[in-house]
Amino acid sequence: MTYLPYCIAAWLFVVGLYGIVTSRHFVHLIICLSVVQSSTYLLLLSIGFRSLPAQAPIFSDVPPGSPAVDPIVHALTLTDIVVGATVTALLLALTLNIKRKRGSVDPAVLSPFPE
């Protein structure tokens, strides 16, 4: 049980990858990419987690120096979430562009190695 959160992160990664491999639509593919990305958030946050009595690393209610979870991984995750959202927007804009230029959003149709 002590390794369950890490294994769920690994499972999320592979599930997202499965979605990317079997994708028939670029928007679906981009969402699967977000699933893969979210596995990194889960991994980072579960590494930094500490069991009670540790709390969030915000010392406005508790005295400074009381046990708290790791703030580094929180900082890494926080910036990544916002930046990930804009990168998703960029990918969606690229998808719109491809739809207009090539008339399709199916990765198989647009493959550099046509069947």
Looking at residues 57 to 96 of the shown chain, list those that interact with another protein (rule: CB under 8 A). Answer: 57-60, 64-65, 68-75, 78-83, 85-87, 89-90, 92-94, 96
109 is an interface residue for another protein by CB under 8 A: no
The answer to whether the peptide bond before residue 57 is cis (omega within 30 degrees of 0) is no
Distance, in Å, from the CA atom of 91 to the CA atom of 30, rounded to the nearest integer, reads: 7
Distance, in Å, from the CA atom of 109 to the CA atom of 115, rounded to the nearest integer, reads: 9
**Three-state DSSP class for 68?**
strand
Which residues in this chain contact another protein in the complex, by CB under 8 A?
1-7, 9-11, 13-14, 17-18, 21-22, 43, 46-51, 56-60, 64-65, 68-75, 78-83, 85-87, 89-90, 92-94, 96-97, 100, 108, 111, 113, 115
